[in-house]
Amino acid sequence: MTGTHLGMPAFPPFPDAAREAVRDGVLRANLRHATHTIRGKRARAVAELADWERLRAAGKAVKDHTLRHLDRYLLQLEASVTAAGGTVHWAADADEANRIVTDLVLATGESEVVKVKSMATQETGLNEALEAAGIAAYETDLAELIVQLGHDRPSHILVPAIHRNRREIRDIFRSEMGGWGRPAPEDLGDDPRELAEAARLHLREKFLRAKVAVSGANFVVAETGTMVVLESEGNGRMCLTLPDTLISVVGIEKVVPTFRDLEVFLQTLPRSSTAERMNPYTTMWTGTHEGDGPSAFHLVLLDNGRTDTLADATGRQALRCIRCSACLNVCPVYERAGGHAYGSVYPGPIGAVLSPQLRGTAGAVDASLPYASTLCGACYEVCPVAIDIPEILLHLRERVVQGGPVTREGVRVRLRPAHGHTAERAAMRAARLLLDHPGALRAGERLLARARRLRPRRLPGPGRAWTDTRELPDIPAEPFRDWWLRERGNRP
């Protein structure tokens, strides 16, 4: 295999993709409306809990403890799930996970599956792999349905179609639903209620006849083998309870040690993601239950770059992520650039630290992602498991420009500095040399002051990036240190 697959072909560097997005007025308006709507709601939902910071600290600690002893908890999980009637499979990468799922579906003799929204299977590109094997995969989450029908890419973790407004969704439903099954009503309007109703009718025939379902999981409990899926629409319940066979593809970092640990995350996740005290539906199942739900249950445990991420002392905290997407909703860069610019199923701040770790920093977009942030810290502030995203961004910037030790596919290697930073590296070094020699610095400042009347409106070269949209500041007649020498120079 060639590097970790995150379900996406090669993408341009972040700044190039973001430029297109910034100029798309409809997209900007859609994102602004959606992120600002959820931002205020989240803040109110969180403010209801006086112990929020303590829950946050507990969530962080549970995840850190689990990751520290991940081998032990995965083995315990395997034993619990098996004892409860499930079957556990292990997948080192996307290809292996897709192969396991495809074989399991083919073994049932079915040629279609219904899917609960799952980041893990988006990451592996499972739908495409199933299609290649002649199996139709139907996304049943409303937003995923919009993305699938629109031949589009997801742009948000929680709301993959966040970049679409109601009118665009109506148009997609009208033109595409018929090709997949029950068509949308001719006179479908753009009221969200009508759109949800159209999705209900379209998907119900698929739910009722489905024999195989594919899901992910929000949490998996090692102690009991209990799987947990949080959702809102009921599509999850449909997939998790009606079919005969259920296949859940789950990243190895999703395990928590005990059933009791859920008391932390079931309080922090809904409030962080949809800003609700509790999401409408949560399903918990443990293996198979006689007479209730699927009679065959398969758990596919997915690595796909996670153990490599775990090997990095600074970067491994990204594995605490519970995919709430609060960091996306507060990120000013995400709000302007949109999710597609991140070139991954994981957009926004968490994507900027997760993708370059899961996939490595060799690709153009992955090398640019650590820089897709102003380091404003809003993401860290809202993260319910206290992932210090700015710290990881800085760490990955260093990896990109300085190189350093990194683990790829289980092997510790030393990365060389990425290409394309030669001029910057030289400039940084020159600046440092100048700044580290106050005599030279003072001479430079005076030179600048003497040339102040030449302050150009547009700079050439890399400086153009500033002056295209902004004036340069005025150059003062003298630097501060000259004023000080003149006015206070008699003092030390």
Partner 1 sequence: MSTRDRILSRIRRATAGAPDAPPVPRDYLRVHGSRTPAETADLLAANLTEYRATVHRTDEDGIARLLARLLAASRTVLVPPALPGHWLASATATRVHDDPASTPYDLDRVDSVVTGCALAIAETGTLVLDGGPDQGRRRITLVPDHHVCVVRVPDQVVDSVPQALERLDPTRPLTWISGPSATSDIELDRVEGVHGPRTLDVVLLGAQ
Partner 2 sequence: MRAALFVTCVNDALYPRTGIAVVRLLERLGVQVDFPAAQSCCGQPQYNTGYRHEAEPLLRRTAAAFAGYDHVVTPSGSCAAMIREHYPRMGRRAAEEGRGGGLAELAQDLVPRVHELTEFLVDVLGVTDVGAYFPHTVTYHPSCHGLRSLGLGERPRRLLAAVKGLELVELPGADECCGFGGTFSVRNPDVSAAMGTDKTAAARATGAEVLCGADNSCLAHLGGILRRAGDPMRTLHLAEILAATEEDPLEEDLLEEDPLP
Q: Residues interacting with partner 2, by CB under 8 A?
A: 14-15, 18-19, 22-23, 28, 332-333, 336-337, 370-378, 380-381, 391, 394, 397-402, 424-425, 428-429, 431-432, 435-436, 438, 441, 445, 448, 452-453, 455, 462-463, 465-466, 468-476, 478-481, 483-484, 488, 491-492
Q: What are the CA-CA distances from residue 379 to residues 106, 376, 401, 453, 467 (Å)?
A: 42, 8, 24, 42, 29
Please compute, for residue 98, the number of CA atoms within 13 A of its CA located in the half-sphere on the CB side. 22
Rounded-to-integer distance, Cα 114 and Cα 103, Å: 16
Rounded-to-integer distance, Cα 20 and Cα 10, Å: 17
Among 105, 317, 407, 445, binds partner 1 (CB under 8 A): 407
- The helix or strand, by DSSP H or E, that contains position 60, with its residue range, turns out to be helix 52-68
Q: What minimum distance in Å lies between the beta carbon of 78 and partner 1?
A: 8
**Pairing state between β 245-251 and 296-302:** parallel
Of 405, 406, 400, 399, nearest to 420 (Cα)?
A: 400
Window 173-192: residues binding partner 1 (CB under 8 A):
192
The four Cα atoms 168, 172, 174, 177 give a dihedral, to 10 degrees, of -150
- Running DSSP on this structure, what letter comes out for residue 292? B
Residue 130 interacts with partner 1 (CB under 8 A)?
no
Q: Which is nearer to partner 2, 15 or 134 (CB)?
A: 15
Window 421-480: residues binding partner 1 (CB under 8 A):
none
Residue 180 binding result from partner 1, partner 2, none, given CB thresholds of 5 to 8 Å by partner type: none
Q: What minimum distance in Å lies between the beta carbon of 449 and partner 2?
A: 9
Please compute, for residue 308, the number of CA atoms within 13 A of its CA located in the half-sphere on the CB side. 25
Rounded-to-integer distance, Cα 6 and Cα 93, Å: 10
Q: Which is nearer to partner 1, 16 or 71 (CB)?
A: 71
Residue 334 interacts with partner 1 (CB under 8 A)?
no
**Pairing state between β 212-215 and 112-115:** parallel
Q: What are the CA-CA distances from residue 2 to residues 49, 96, 165, 478 (Å)?
A: 46, 13, 37, 57
Residue 484 binding result from partner 1, partner 2, none, given CB thresholds of 5 to 8 Å by partner type: partner 2
Location of structure tokens 């899917």: 115
Residue 123 interacts with partner 1 (CB under 8 A)?
no
Angle at 109 between CA 107 and CA 110, to 5 degrees: 115
Among 3, 12, 64, 87, binds partner 1 (CB under 8 A): 64
Q: What minimum distance in Å lies between the beta carbon of 261 and partner 1?
A: 8
What interhelical angle do 348-358 and 389-402 show, nearest 10? Answer: 40
Q: What minimum distance in Å lies between the beta carbon of 18 and partner 2?
A: 5
Q: Which is nearer to partner 1, 270 or 339 (CB)?
A: 270
Residue 473 binding result from partner 1, partner 2, none, given CB thresholds of 5 to 8 Å by partner type: partner 2
Query: By CB under 8 A, which span of 5-13, 131-139, 227-235, 461-469 interacts with partner 1?
Result: 227-235
- The helix or strand, by DSSP H or E, that contains position 88, with its residue range, turns out to be strand 87-91
Q: Which is nearer to partner 1, 54 or 429 (CB)?
A: 54
Of 268, 249, 243, nearest to 91 (Cα)?
A: 249
- Running DSSP on this structure, what letter comes out for residue 314? T
Q: What minimum distance in Å lies between the beta carbon of 414 and partner 2?
A: 13
Among 247, 252, 372, 382, binds partner 1 (CB under 8 A): 252
Of 133, 136, 139, nearest to 153 (Cα)?
A: 139
Contacts of 489 (CB under 8 A, 6+ apart): none
Window 338-377: residues binding partner 1 (CB under 8 A):
none
Residue 87 interacts with partner 1 (CB under 8 A)?
no
Among 24, 103, 263, 381, binds partner 1 (CB under 8 A): 263
Q: How far is CA 336 from the centre of its chain?
A: 16
Q: Which is nearer to partner 2, 43 or 75 (CB)?
A: 43
Residue 34 binding result from partner 2, partner 1, none, given CB thresholds of 5 to 8 Å by partner type: partner 1
Q: What minimum distance in Å lies between the beta carbon of 469 and partner 2?
A: 4
| Token pair of 126 as six digits | 């499972």
Of 381, 372, 375, nearest to 329 (Cα)?
A: 381
Q: What minimum distance in Å lies between the beta carbon of 376 and partner 2?
A: 4
Residue 159 interacts with partner 1 (CB under 8 A)?
yes
Residue 217 interacts with partner 1 (CB under 8 A)?
no
Residue 69 binding result from partner 1, partner 2, none, given CB thresholds of 5 to 8 Å by partner type: partner 1
Q: What minimum distance in Å lies between the beta carbon of 436 and partner 2?
A: 5
Residue 203 binding result from partner 1, partner 2, none, given CB thresholds of 5 to 8 Å by partner type: partner 1
Q: What are the CA-CA distances from residue 218 to residues 88, 111, 255, 264, 467 (Å)?
A: 17, 27, 9, 13, 46
Among 6, 8, 34, 255, binds partner 1 (CB under 8 A): 34
Residue 62 binding result from partner 2, partner 1, none, given CB thresholds of 5 to 8 Å by partner type: partner 1
Location of structure tokens 């001479």: 443
Q: Which is nearer to partner 2, 103 or 466 (CB)?
A: 466
**Contact predicate 473/463, CB 8 Å:** no
Window 275-314: residues binding partner 1 (CB under 8 A):
276-286, 289, 291-293, 301, 303, 307-308, 310-311, 313
